[in-house]
Amino acid sequence: MGCIQSVTWCPKTTLKIMTIFLVTNLLKADKENVVFGVGLVRFANAPCTSSSNLIGTCYRRRQCNDINGGASGICANGIGVCCVFVRTCGGSSPYNSTYFTNADYPSAVTTSTSCVMIIQRATSNTCQVRIDFLSFILAQPNATGICNTDALIITGGAGSLPIICGDNTGQHIYVDFNGNNNIIMTITTTAGDVGRIWNFLVTQIACDCPTRAPSGCLQFYNTTTGTITSLNYGVGSNIIDNTTGLPGTRQLVNQNYGACVNMLPGFCSIQWSSNGFMVSGIPNLGFDALTNGDCTTDFVVIANPSYVGGTPVNSDRFCGTSFNTVTTASKPFVLYVITNGDEQNDVANTGFSLSFTQQACSNNLFG
């Protein structure tokens, strides 16, 4: 017998739902009498690494089979198995660390398809999911930045989400549950030579988890340093802009989201610097780094920034074909990303890759 429960996992906390099952114990009442009894052995439904190096959850073997998981390796000192959940088109899962893949993954999709994958809420204390795009390649948008050939559309969550296509391997997004409604991921593709492939890892996050992404953050980073790239900032060159040698593909339309950085203890400001920036304007025509009133269609927003040396920028909007390093102490730390509904005049724009570095507070004042 056992109680089968889904797990909502929160990193760096010790609160985990427990699996309980019965084992036979040998209990000695005294030297003369031996009594066979039944005892309870408990272990955490904690994340584990399977023998195939996938992330799973520790369950009893029978539990894992009952909930359509795949046992791969052992956990809990050999008492449990590392249960891996893999679903494909038409599949659904309320379980933490579920992989959603295209059919026949890792083989690519070259035919027309509509793939629906459903994320179910694990418990009443589950508030959001993080979706990691471990592998995610669809056809590129058209010349206006619209995903008219292939698209990922996510519905059912709280708030609207951008439509995504192109090359987004390595990206991640957060989606809040809307009550008990399912979060539905739909990928549509058309026939063609492009090899489409997707492998998403879905992590369910507890409402009281300190690493839960704040409302309004499509992306969330919990590190002192890192790099944030715009969606579809791929590794290939933009064929319109292949003379620049910069990585990237094509900027997507109708982006309006926040990429948030968690301010960690001991840090009071954040510095942003460019690895590549081409958000509006035409390369090689002198647009360079633009701010404020010059940025009306496509731009990023950083609140109350100053240049290196402390001179105020006097603008929170940045666009053009380059980006000057800035620092801000405005909180929370958020990079807002805005694009309009037509990228035809900006067809060469690849988007951006910005690195951030949190900077320590002075005089030990943790702002």
Question: How many structural domains is the chain composed of?
Answer: 2
Residues 179 and 289 in one domain: no
Residues 200 and 55 in one domain: yes
Along the 367 residues of the chain, how does pLDDT read in single tens digits?
222 334 565 655 433 443 433 333 323 333 333 334 444 567 888 999 999 999 999 999 999 999 999 999 999 999 999 999 999 999 999 999 999 999 999 999 999 999 999 999 999 999 999 999 999 999 988 878 899 999 999 999 998 899 999 999 999 999 999 999 999 999 999 988 889 999 999 999 999 998 899 999 999 999 999 999 999 997 655 554 444 444 447 889 999 999 999 999 999 999 999 999 988 865 544 456 777 678 888 999 999 999 999 999 999 999 988 899 999 999 999 999 999 887 656 656 889 999 999 999 986 444 4
The domain boundary residue, chosen from 145, 177, 212: 212
Residues 193 and 249 in one domain: no
| 243 in a structural domain | yes
Residues 235 and 207 in one domain: no
The domain boundary residue, chosen from 212, 232, 247: 212
From residue 16, how far is each of 35, 58, 73, 222 by CA, in Å?
A: 33, 11, 20, 21
pTM of the model: 0.86
For residue 240, the Cα-to-chain-centroid distance in whole angstroms is: 29
| 14 in a structural domain | no
Q: Report d(CA 154, CA 196) in Å as an integer.
A: 18
Residues 244 and 133 in one domain: no
| 12 in a structural domain | no
Q: Report d(CA 61, CA 78) in Å as an integer.
A: 11
Q: What is the CATH number of the domain that holds 335?
A: 2.60.120.290
What is the span of the domain harbouring residue 124?
46-212
Strand (E) or helix (H) holding 62: helix 61-66
Q: Report d(CA 182, CA 156) in Å as an integer.
A: 6
